[in-house]
Amino acid sequence: MKLALAPMATLSHAPLRALIHRYGDPDEYFSEMIHAPSFVAGGRFESWYVRSEPCPDRMVWQLTGSDEATIVRAAELLLSHGGIGIDLNMGCSAPDIARFGAGIAWMSKPLAEVSSLVSSVRRTTLVSGGQSPRLGVKLRLGETEDYPRLVEFCRMLADSGADIVTLHPRVRRDKYGRPARREFVGRLASDLSIPVYGNGDIRSAADALDFMERSPCAGLMVGRGAVRTPWIFGDIKRAEKARAENAGACDAGTGESSIGDIDHLEVARFFIDALLEGQPPEFWISRAHRFFFYYCENFSFAHHIKMKIQNAETTDAMLAELERYFDEVPQDRILARA
């Protein structure tokens, strides 16, 4: 199976990729959501969204927008930065995105309008005499659990030139507290002529293998789980290999691991150093807060340390809070992997 890092706003950037890279890369790294109008206009921070370190040959650029012409132009510009393809965001349900006709709003537009967008971007990605960059679409179930409508929509995407679909199996109104409906991924994968990736609530290698067993598909996309445990992709690959070879337990951290123990304070320091080098100063605090909001779930008193870090106003203060926490709760500092 293929593995991909999900496109997460304020998270799927070069510093997080550098951290994940230490433990084992996914097959694909999706960028943060790139706002087509801002990118085309040459916005002040847009160049930071198209940094491709540490694995330029694994990058997928995800685009959002409401206007076909602008999205097509943004796709043309993005492909000059390399990578393996373009992904169109038709699944983001954030109100600020959807109410302007972007994200999941595309799933409610006339099929002809959506088809025109996909076909136009497809023409942009075609390369004569070589392998063309891939065109994908990431989406949700839609407004409701209307599976016939979902299949119709996805078949239209395939007919219009999409090479792959990634399904986050929640409806528009769902929050993350409700489990993803993974059964829809397997159904869609069996009903489409193009590959389908599944996305939603993958927290461990064992969970990934269970997802694939219950809802077979071409690959899995991991988002928040990769922020909590940046070593998850390496764990999944080792677990998949172990299962294929019938060579012992499959879940993460049960003997097949080759990365050793995790020092959470060292991880935090590495991430902050990468953040200060790989993002503009205006982004440092918000992106550090966002990362630690998820990463701190590894700790016994997660809410306590989360709030301490969220209230810290500098990256040095965040690290100082973590150092104090580990002084008080030393058993939380090292994650034993043996």
**Residue-wise pLDDT tens digits, 254-270:** 334 467 999 999 999 99
Query: Are 237 and 272 in the same domain?
Result: no
Output the average pLDDT for the chain. 94
Classify 192 in phi/psi space as left (phi over 0), alpha (psi -120 to 50) or beta: beta
Residue 130 has pLDDT above 70, yes or no: no
Give the per-residue pLDDT at 245. 86
Q: Is residue 159 part of a domain?
A: yes
pLDDT per residue as tens digits for the range 68-84: 999 999 999 999 999 99
Q: Which two tokens stand for residue 23?
A: 């433990």
**What's the average model confidence in pLDDT over 90-107?**
95
Higher pLDDT, 321 or 173: 321
Residue 213: how many other CB atoms lie within 10 Å:
10
In this prediction, residue 129 has a pLDDT band, given cuts at 50, 70 and 90, of low
Residues 6+ apart with CB under 8 A from 42: none
pLDDT tens for 185-209 read 999 999 999 999 999 999 999 999 9
Domain of 301 in residue numbering reads as: 262-335
CATH of the domain at 204: 3.20.20.70
Is position 250 within any domain? no
Rounded to whole angstroms, the Cα distance separating 261 from 123 reads 48
Instruction: Based on the fold, state whether residues 238 and 284 are members of the same structural domain.
Output: no
Whether residues 20 and 150 fall in one domain: yes
pLDDT attached to residue 253: 40
> According to the model, what pLDDT value does residue 247 have?
47
Report yes or no on 256 lying in a domain: no
| CB 89 within 8 Å of CB 81 | no
Q: Are residues 24 and 117 in the same domain?
A: yes
Q: Is the dihedral of CA 326, 328, 330, 335 positive or negative?
A: negative
Domain presence at residue 52 = yes
300 domain-assigned: yes
pLDDT of residue 337: 87
Residue 106 lies in a domain: yes
Do 202 and 144 lie in a common domain? yes
Query: What's the one-letter identity of residue 112?
Result: A
Is the separation of the CB atoms in 205 and 250 below 8 Å? Answer: yes
Of 213, 244, 275, the position where a domain reaches its end is 244
For residue 40, is it within any domain? Answer: yes
- Percent of the chain at pLDDT > 90 equals 90
| Strand-pair partners of 138 | 89, 166
Q: Are 59 and 84 spatial neighbours (Cβ–Cβ below 8 Å)?
A: yes
- Global pTM? 0.94
Residue range 81-108: mean pLDDT, rounded: 95
Residue with tokens 């219009």: 160
Domain final residue, candidates 181, 213, 244: 244
- Which residues on adjacent β-strands are paired with residue 135? 86
Q: Is the pLDDT of residue 280 over 60?
A: yes
Select from 201, 218, 244 the last residue of a domain: 244
**Dihedral of alpha carbons 266, 318, 45, 4, sign:** positive
CA geometry: angle 145, 149, 154, nearest 5 deg:
110
Total number of domains in the chain: 2
**Confidence band for 128, pLDDT divided at 50, 70 and 90:** low
214-to-4, 19, 192, 207 alpha-carbon distances in Å: 19, 30, 17, 11
Quick check: 151 pLDDT over 80? yes
Inside any domain, residue 144 = yes
1-30 confidence digits (pLDDT tens) = 999 999 999 999 999 999 999 999 999 999
- Segment 283-307 mean pLDDT: 98
